[in-house]
Amino acid sequence: MTYLREARALATATIVNYVPFVRAFLNDRFGKGRVTLSRLCAGDVVRFAQRQAQRMQPKRAKLLTAALRSFLRYARYRGDITLDLSAAVPVVANWAMPSIPRGIAPDQTRQLLASIDRRSKTGLRDYAILLLLARLGLRAGEVVSLELGDIDWSAGRLCVRGKSTQCNELPLPADVGKAIATYLIRGRPRSTCRRVFLRARAPITGFSGPSGVGSVVRHAIQHAGIDAPTRGAHQFRHGLATEMLCHGASLGEIGELLGHQHPQTTTIYTKVDIKALRTLAVPWPGGVQ
């Protein structure tokens, strides 16, 4: 993990996601016997990757292959293997922008927020979390890792640590700031933990991972009885980007808010603005048939 964090500069969430894949690969190859990396061959890598990828969605299969490549490069770096077995990891087919992002609609977001019972401490927490997702498009992991020192109340700004270790500063909308402040004053349990959002049950500490925020979203949607596109937190990110695009924001502005490192990542949202895309369509020769 130290190699991935320091030499590869990978985010903690990425490292956590890699570990189960590597463990499964080693267990598949060596079982309960002694792990001898020098015995690995390209066939072991290919068979495992192909067999596992068949059961996965493309996005998760790509995470699997990335984890294997990273592990095999590290094994070679340590001298445990001599060949570059990372080159044997198959490439997962990935058609560019295969589907339209499934974003939650603005009226559904308003209905969801209105359904939260802010008379309870848990409700105050969940309301603030949902506002962060809806108004700033944060990833679940970014909400989880948010710490008390990341909020500059006097400047009205928020330091968000995304997939990289760099801090992305975002303006803190007044309603979001008010929701967080109300939770900190009236809803947050006493704790030495510096995370902004804490578990409601013992042990009183921060969420262990993005799944904690996912659980908040899922329960809120179920309670509100909303027919949302998905049950996950990412739909708010897609919904915000879609809404910004429909109101004239540029892809650059959307990418900056969402913390995209590469411009190509933001171009997927051009598929949701059907009205704008229709203006680019070439008229059919001879008129409408």
> What residues are annotated to the active site?
139, 163, 234, 237, 260, 269
The whole-angstrom separation of Cα 53 and Cα 49 is 6
One DSSP character per residue, 20-36 reads: HHHHHHHHHHHTTS---
Enter the tokens of residue 187.
Answer: 């809803």
Q: Which residues pair with 151 in a beta bridge?
A: 158
Longest dimension (CA), the chain: 73
For CA atoms 146, 151, 156, 159, the dihedral sign is negative
Q: What distance in Å separates the CA atoms of residue 184 and residue 153, rounded to the nearest whole number?
A: 13
Q: How far apart are CA 18 and CA 177, in angstroms?
A: 34
| Measured distance CA(230)–CA(236) in Å, rounded | 10
- Residues 6+ away with beta carbon under 8 Å from 209: 13, 16, 141, 144
Residue 263's identity, in one-letter code, is: P
